[in-house]
Amino acid sequence: MGLSVGDIAPDFCLESSGGGVVSSNDLRGQCFVLYFYPKDFTSVCTAEACSFRDQFADLRDLDVTVFGVSRDDLDTHRKFKEEYDLPFELLSDPDGKTAKAYGARVPLLGVTKRVTYLVNGEGRIAAVHEEMFGDASHVNAVLSALSKGEVR
C-alpha cells in the first residue's frame, strides 16, 4: 500500500547518477519530488522522464528538486540521463527497499510501480500521483499541487 498525503516520507539513502549519495536527511527543509518508475529506456518511462525534463525549469523556479528512482544500476542511469539530457538526478534502488518503503513496488513481481510523491520541507507527503501508463500526468499532478499551494 502506498503513502498518503500527510504521511511522513520514509528515510532513504541512494546512490545518484551524478556521483555520491542522496539522503532524505540531506533534503530536510526542502521540497522535492521522488518519482518511481519501472525501467530506463522503456517507452513510457522515457516519456515520463522527458516530461519532467521539459517542466524542469518551472519546478526549479518553485524551489522543487526532482529525483527519478528505479532499480536500474548507475551505469544505465547515466546513459539514460545523458541520452535524454535529463537535468535532474536518477537514484539507484537496486534491491527495491526504498520503493517498498514508499509503497511503490508490486509485491509478488518485485517491479517498481509508476508513482510520484511530492514531499514538503517538513518531510511529509504533500501530493501523490499513481498512474502506471501515464507519463506527463505525473509532472502535471505535481505542478497542479504546487499551484494550489498544497505543499507549503
* 3-class secondary structure, 30: coil
Paired residues of 19 in beta bridges: none
Which has the closest alpha carbon to 91: 109, 124, 117? Answer: 117
* 3-class secondary structure, 29: coil
Burial of 11 (0-12, 13-18, 19+ CB in 10 A): exposed
Pinpoint the alpha helices (H) of the chain.
43-54, 56-61, 74-83, 97-101, 136-147
Q: Is 45 a catalytic residue?
A: yes
Which has the closest alpha carbon to 90: 39, 134, 44, 51? Answer: 39
- Catalytic member of 13, 31, 45, 50: 45
Which has the closest alpha carbon to 151: 14, 37, 59, 51? Answer: 59
Q: Known catalytic residues?
A: 45
